[in-house]
Amino acid sequence: MTNLDVTSAREKLLNLHAQLLSQQVQQSNLERLCQQFQLSNFERDILLLCLGQEIKPQWANLCAIAQNNPKQTYPTFNLALTIFENRHMGALTPNAPLRYWQFIEVEKGRILTQSPLKIDEWVFHYLFNSFFLDKRLEHLVESVISQYTLVQSHQQLVQQLLQIWQENKPPNIPIVQLCGQNFRQLRAIAATSCEKEGRKLYAIASHLLPTDTEEFTTFLRLWEREFLLQGSVLLIEIDDIYGENAAKQQAISLFINRLQTPIIIATRDRLPPRRRSLLTFEVESATLEEQRENWHIVLDHLETSDRDPIVKAITAQFNLNLNTIESVGAIAKSNPNLPQQELQKQLWESCRIQARPQLADLAQRIESKAILDDLILPQKQKEILQEIVGQIRYRTTVYYDFGFASKGARGLGITALFAGQSGTGKTMAAEVLAKELAVDLYRIDLSRVVSKYIGETEKNLRRIFDAAETGGAILLFDEADALFGKRSEVKDSRDRYANLEVSYLLQRMEEYQGLAILTTNLKDAIDNAFLRRIRFIVDFPFPLKKQRRAIWQRVFPPQTPTLGLDYRKLAQLDKAGGIIRNIAINAVFLAMNEGGDRNPVTMQHILKATRNEYDKLHEVLTDAEIKDWVE
């Protein structure tokens, strides 16, 4: 290569560079980039030098000739220092804009001035007016758009957020913290605020924040870059700050303190104070009045006299957002000629489905089929169950219309303890209540809820209550002895923490707007201090002979073929309803196996099924119990 070749190549590069500067890139974007990140003219020229490599076919050959090295078919800092007159060495440092904001990539492992330079792909597309999220961010954050209609109280909150952003500019803009149990509502408020401000909103779950130093720094800078050019807002969703490990908590704290862009935090619990200003807003669900108002709007095709009882009944049970109310209300408009009773039933069932919580890993939904007549209990216990039904039905009137809720949420929850031996009807009683009230029943698996890890039990309990709140489902904590017990004698830190777990459960039960039931086989093992916080205690006694006879008379469905069953004699069997049911079902199978599906169940089949059940339980079947069963 001759000096003339080198000189010509450099001149050609400068000419092409001038064309890029004046014609091919989006000038407004280039100017905004330079202004926002304070790029000098030399730094701008380096960026365009790297850009030319991507779009000009002859660029690589010109770079090699201009650097007098056939292998250097790429831009370098040395080339930029050679051909541009406005050169300065400060542009090469890691803290200078080009490298700090990662506008260019410098290949590692070579001499700095001789290393290949490459324009960042995101910047490349930005300069040509194509906007997208950096690929290093897209797997961590997700775009959030406003999909939900906000109630008046939430709209007022949006106006407050907009005022904060208008009155404060980075780096002095405060962090907005939205505290509430319903993350969907928190997202809707944040998304609506950004939409009105003309900003994009992206959400990141706190557990996805990087803890590795290099990854953390990269994420921080890339997000600040996103904000400076696109004005995007970041929503950090923190499900349980105290449940995160120390490294994750530190990452959350560092990120919030160091990021100088608008941040919205969605969290259940208030974060501790930060170096950066933090404004906290408590976000409650739509009030009863707001829900009633919107139900009246979506059912405005009905007469007011028809609307009132429907709205009152539905809002007494379900706590729905406006979008769900509108969706369910569309059912009524699509069936305008339905009788009022049928319409209310249809709306109720639709609300029940929409509000159904997702708790498959912690609870089992039980289809309720039993009715009150199926329960063989003393009259006193039946009356208590009827009281529970009445309090559930009229709690909204008493608490809200009569004003008791204005005194505080504590103690408004309807709680019950069902105590008695296995098989005495505790679970069936819960089914009866669910059937009577037309609500879902969830049996909580305490073996999955109670954890040996400190804090996990409360986290699971909170998830259960938060998920069930929308539909007011009945929560059945079966065999609660796993959690309850007399804990007056504290021997170690675990015992002390177990007390906290029980206290937390009782607190949530007392605040829960539905019915929470605890069952136990060992009532005497529960501390009296806990019992005093339960509103209803129902003792399920072991059935007497008269009650056992009634159980036998009801245990076989009407369509089951039977022959010669003597319920007076069967009542001699000293077992509760659960065991009686097991025996009855097995007796039916024995009869079917013997003679087909028309073969009736006889005393002989029940006797054989009884012997099998006792053998299974390793118990002795006495002659007195089966006296004269079979002649």
Q: What is the CATH number of the domain that holds 454?
A: 3.40.50.300
Q: What's residue 526's pLDDT?
A: 77
498 lies in the same domain as 468:
yes
Q: What's residue 488's pLDDT?
A: 45
Give domain status of residue 629, yes or no: no
Q: Of 241, 264, 282, which one is at a domain's C-terminal end?
A: 282
573 lies in the same domain as 512:
no
Q: What's residue 496's pLDDT?
A: 46
Give long-range contacts, CB 8 A cutoff, 24+ apart: 421-424. Answer: 421/521, 421/540, 421/542, 421/576, 422/521, 422/576, 422/578, 423/575, 423/576, 423/577, 423/578, 423/579, 423/580, 423/581, 424/540, 424/541, 424/542, 424/543, 424/576, 424/577, 424/578
Identity at 395, one-letter amino acid code? R
388 lies in the same domain as 516:
yes
168 lies in the same domain as 269:
yes
Give domain status of residue 168, yes or no: yes
Q: Of 217, 248, 282, which one is at a domain's C-terminal end?
A: 282
Per the CB < 8 A criterion, the answer to whether 330 and 300 are in contact is no
Q: Of 99, 127, 155, which one is at a domain's C-terminal end?
A: 127
Per the CB < 8 A criterion, the answer to whether 606 and 579 are in contact is no
Q: pLDDT by residue (tens digit) across 443-467?
A: 987 777 877 777 778 888 888 888 8
Q: Where does 519-573 have alpha helices with state H?
A: 528-531, 545-555, 567-570
Closest CA to 400 of 240, 476, 261, 287: 287
407 lies in the same domain as 525:
yes
Q: pLDDT by residue (tens digit) across 536-579?
A: 999 999 999 999 999 999 999 999 999 999 999 999 999 999 99
Q: How many domains does the chain have?
A: 5
Residues lower than pLDDT 70 in the chain: 1-4, 23-25, 241-245, 273-275, 407-411, 482-500
Give domain status of residue 123, yes or no: yes
Give domain status of residue 115, yes or no: yes
Q: What's residue 484's pLDDT?
A: 65
594 lies in the same domain as 536:
no
User: Which structural domain range is residue 301 located in?
Assistant: 289-355
> Taking the model in full, what pTM does it have?
0.74
413 lies in the same domain as 459:
yes
Q: What's residue 1's pLDDT?
A: 47
CATH number for 594 = 1.10.8.60
Q: What's residue 498's pLDDT?
A: 55
The pair of structure tokens assigned to 181 is 């149990």
